[in-house]
Amino acid sequence: MDREADVVVIGGGITGTAILAELARYDLHCVLVEKEPDIAAGTTKANSAVLHAGFDAPQGSMKARMNVAGNRLYHELQEQLDLDIQWTGSLVVATDAAEEAVLHELLARGQANGVPDLVIWDGKKVHEQEPNLSPQIRAALWAPTAGICWPFGLAIAFAENAVQNGAEILRECEVTGIRTEAGKVTAVETTAGLIRTRWVVNAAGVEADQVSQWAGDTSFSIQPRKGEYVLFDKTAQPDLVKGVIFPTPSRTSKGILVCATTHGNVFVGPNAQNIEDREDTAVTAAGMAEILNGARKLVPKIPLGAVITEFAGIRAVSSTGDFVLGFSKNVDGLVQAAGIQSPGLTSAPAIARYIAGLLVKASKAALRADYQAGRPAHPTLRTLTPAGQETLIAGDSRYGRVICRCETITEGEIVDAIHRPCGARTVDGVKRRTRAGMGRCQGGFCGPRIVQILARELKIPVSSVRKETRASYMYYDKDEMSGGNA
């Protein structure tokens, strides 16, 4: 069905959802289109979840500007949007004199970029902070403004806020072309129909160069770069690391890090491999060996027996070497938000303000009089006091029915995740909103029950429930699932 919009945002990752949320502050009809059944299904689902301080990117680059500003904005948005962020700080460690020299370079660059409170620690101070690090580490750059986050949760928060304020999110809506007339964007062609529009924001991740080419702008290309990770169970080793531990960086990567998560796990990774297939998220034995060997240089006692999963993500590396942001010089109405690799997660709210600022100026849009900050509350049983739990369960007995034992996630939380603005439509969509299936068993026990609940709440057959992508249907034994009528 054809429709109209002032702005169409292509791509439902952290960049696209942040831009949509910022545009929703204004009197503009905005539509985000995402080809998968859920948002945060690309790079946003598989990254290091680090909110960088901002000392890596060259001074004056878009990466540097957006990183520092984005970090500051997350400090402001954390309470307003109920974002899962911990400001742990980060360490970049050195094991010899040459690496120590790099630390001083990073310190100077960070100070030039406006990163506050950077300091170089000696080995003694480093090991007081992180006692499980290698004794070979002799110094580190400490960045107290860095942190860790729940990355899908950030994108979901932006999306919920945007929908709450009148924006639309169309999922399973793949872009197939961009229409232009006389060098100006007029419409976006999708599998769900034509969307006539004045402006298109290209936040399509690893497909951003293809989207740009459809509109007639060939000024950049995207190189897909795969990074693999290993995740450990919460019981692996208490306090293995408290925050973010980087090696000294290379020209192509920040290196294989060891990092805590906001939920008590630890992961190691990523490596960096340029690939051709933009959907190749397979992990390899060679990649796992590379990651573990790199991690052992930082933390010698890596608990291999506690590995619960491996995964990979793809970064969108621009041929320009920087973020591609702003109005296209070749196509009127095309706005680029492309090449968003690290520190893209950190930069997202700053990119959103930058892009929205351009569009508001061009459209002369006014602030919405009925704008609502924040997003709907989402009760979680495990975070409440015993009295709070009793009150929650008294109001809805489904919050007293634990579905995911590893993470203590209840049926009430899963149902809420499905029916929230831009709610879950897949098993992984439930996982990213609630953590159901994120624990030690990786969904082995709760998975079938989650499929039942999705089928029941979405009023679809069990055979129509998908794991994540458009074609990832989940088929279970009919007798076991009882037809999906839980």
Q: Which amino acid belongs to residue 133?
A: L
| Closest by CA position to 157, among listed 367, 371, 396, 373 | 373
Q: Check: CB of residue 52 under 8 Å from CB of residue 343.
A: yes
HEC secondary structure over 294-336: HHHHHCCCCCHHHEEEEEEEEEEEECCCCCEEEECCCCECEEE
Q: Is 52 tagged catalytic?
A: yes
**What separation in angstroms does the CA of 221 have from each of 154, 217, 226, 271, 339?**
27, 10, 16, 22, 8
For the chain, the distance separating the N- and C-terminal CA atoms, rounded to the nearest angstrom, is: 34
Element (H, E) at 403: strand 402-404
**In the numeric block, which tokens belong to residue 190?**
């999708």
CA atoms within 13 A on the CB side of 61: 20
Q: Which amino acid belongs to residue 380?
A: T
Q: How far apart are CA 290 and CA 293, in angstroms?
A: 5
**In the numeric block, which tokens belong to residue 246?**
């980087």
Q: Check: CB of residue 447 under 8 Å from CB of residue 437.
A: yes
| Catalytic residue (one of 29, 52, 75, 127) | 52
Q: How far apart are CA 202 and CA 216, in angstroms?
A: 13
Catalytic residues: 52
